[in-house]
Amino acid sequence: MKAAEILPDARREARRMEGRADELKAEAEALKGAARLEDLTLWQMEKAKTTKKRSKTYLYWMASWREGGKVRNVHLGSCRKVDHEIALQKARKIKAEALKGAAGGAPSHPSELHDPHSEPSRLIYQSTGQP
């Protein structure tokens, strides 16, 4: 005997449950993508410049995340000009572009993302070797 003969509403119930399962799977995939975007580290890099007269220390915002098997470090701007929230927004935007690029073949190196004709106040992307 078929289930449809035993329970007349079984087919309808099975379709409803399959639809709900598909919705939950799509929601889980969306949350997985959002969690991947949020998985980054924001930190301050200290750089000392020495002249004849004195030594001066500068702080820069940096972001790090894993791309493939490597850690990618991105320069976000001076701590004097950019606060924590804006640095975090910039890092998320750059990582979103990198994730999109990894899937679609867009530029993967930070120097390829920089537009030389953009305003000077815009971000300058560079990689460093220190986390």
Helix (H, G, I), strand (E, B) or coil at 41: strand
CB 110 within 8 A of CB 125: yes
Judgement on whether residues 26 and 69 belong to the same structural domain of the protein: no
What is the token pair recorded at 10? Answer: 């079984």
**What percent of the chain has pLDDT above 90?**
37
Tell me, yes or no, whether 25 and 54 share the same domain.
no
Q: Where are the alpha helices (DSSP H) in 7-83?
A: 10-38
User: Model pTM?
Assistant: 0.54
3-state helix, strand, coil in the chain (%, to 5): 45, 25, 30
- Its domain, for residue 104, covers 41-113
pLDDT tens-digit readout, 74-116: 999 999 999 999 999 999 999 888 888 777 654 555 544 544 4
Q: How many domains does the chain have?
A: 2
Distance CA 43, CA 131 (A): 8
Q: Look at residue 67 and tell me if it is in a domain.
A: yes
Residue 16 domain-assigned? Answer: yes
Does pLDDT of 13 surpass 60?
yes
Tokens of 62: 């940096």
